[in-house]
Amino acid sequence: MADASIVTVDLSPFFNGDKSGMKDAKEVITRTCSDYGFFQVVNHGVPPSLMAQALDLSKTFFEFPNEEKLKASPGEGAPLPPGGYIKRPDHSDEQHELLLMYPPASSFNIFPNNPPELKEVFEETFSQLIKTGLLVESILNDCLGLPPNFLKEFNHDRSGDFLVALRYLPTNNARFNGVSAHEDGNCFTLLFQDDVVGLEVLKDGVWIPVIPIEGGLIVNVGDVIQVLSNNKFISATHRVIRQKVRSWHSFAYFGNLEGEKWVEPLPKFTEEIGEPAKYRGFFYKDFKAMKMRNDTHPPSDPKDMFTVRHYAIST
């Protein structure tokens, strides 16, 4: 039976130079990423007051009438996923809605005029999460035993990263799935949430609710790290459960790759140790396009959803 919680790691040693603390943190992160790819961090560098302000502003925005929110909807020619406000229907019941932004300098960003301070706060939140993302990336790099800065250089183009403010609306159906079980098709994701329990992670065959920690950031490993490490680190399986009384609000930062990047198991985890590659290589843009198709043209049978397992090599 899985523990009824996920691991929480204190990142303060990486700011104060405590080498013993850094070593202990890396050991914990290595274990949890090898097991199920999911953990929480505290003292990570993003001001908790900024996170709280961002959540408050997103709640204010999502409470506006539809005609006001739709003023921030993307137009033609926007990238996929498009920047701005998007509402995702689930048959006749609203499933969730989101406000998506690319890095602050991107021309694809569409910000609402109300609340007036939203743009500044969201851009500062994004900038802070980029810094923490680089720290997390560096820690994962060390935990995998890769050469210094390998992942940073491999993932040097941050223009495809994006930040999403999310609201999952309450439902009359008991514990209705807001998002079914899935893995993120990126390098890693950082997420913070309000005090409503909505996120669950699959650990040892059991769904574990991710209990909110004030000021905490959730980290999950994505498919790219799983492929590069040849399954040494696991892409986290998770889902969102909509509750009956309150909406669930969160922010998710997705660390992605440049589309022309070729992804395959690294020699360190294959030929150098005599292990066969568990995946065929692929261009990230092709993988991303197929993952996006799951959203735009979902198959009638969930078993036909496109996942990284499409590239798995049979043994």
Give the separation between CA 119 and CA 99, rounded to whole angstroms: 11
Q: What does pTM read for this prediction?
A: 0.93
- The per-residue pLDDT for 3 is 58
Query: Which pair of tokens denotes residue 167?
Result: 């609201």
Domains of the chain: 8-266 (2.60.120.330)
Sign (positive/negative) of CA torsion 95, 99, 102, 106?
positive
- Do 237 and 222 form a contact (C-beta atoms < 8 A)? no
Give the separation between CA 242 and CA 176, rounded to whole angstroms: 5
Return the C-alpha torsion angle 87, 92, 93, 96, nearest 10. Answer: -20
- The per-residue pLDDT for 90 is 47
- The per-residue pLDDT for 180 is 82
Mean pLDDT by 10 residues, the chain (315 residues): 77 98 98 96 98 98 95 78 80 71 90 96 97 97 97 90 94 66 94 94 93 95 98 95 89 94 97 96 93 75 82 88
> Exposure string (b/e) for 226-252, b if CB count within 10 Å is 16 or more?
bbbbbebbbbbbbbbbbbeeebbbbbb
CA-derived radius of gyration, the chain: 19
Per-residue HEC secondary structure of the chain comes to CCCCCCCEEECCHHHHCCHHHHHHHHHHHHHHHHHCCEEEEECCCCCHHHHHHHHHHHHHHHCCCHHHHHHHCCCCCCCCCCCEEEEEEECCEEEEEEEEECCCCCCCCCCCCCCCCHHHHHHHHHHHHHHHHHHHHHHHHHHCCCCCCHHHHHCCCCCCCEEEEEEECCCCCCCEEEEEEECCCCCEEEEEECCCCCEEEEECCEEEECCCCCCCEEEEECHHHHHHCCCCCCCCCEEEEECCCCCEEEEEEEECCCCCCEECCCHHHCHHHCCCCCECCEEHHHHHHHHHHHHHCCCCCHHHCCCHHHHECCC
End-to-end C-alpha distance for the chain, whole angstroms: 29
- The per-residue pLDDT for 77 is 65
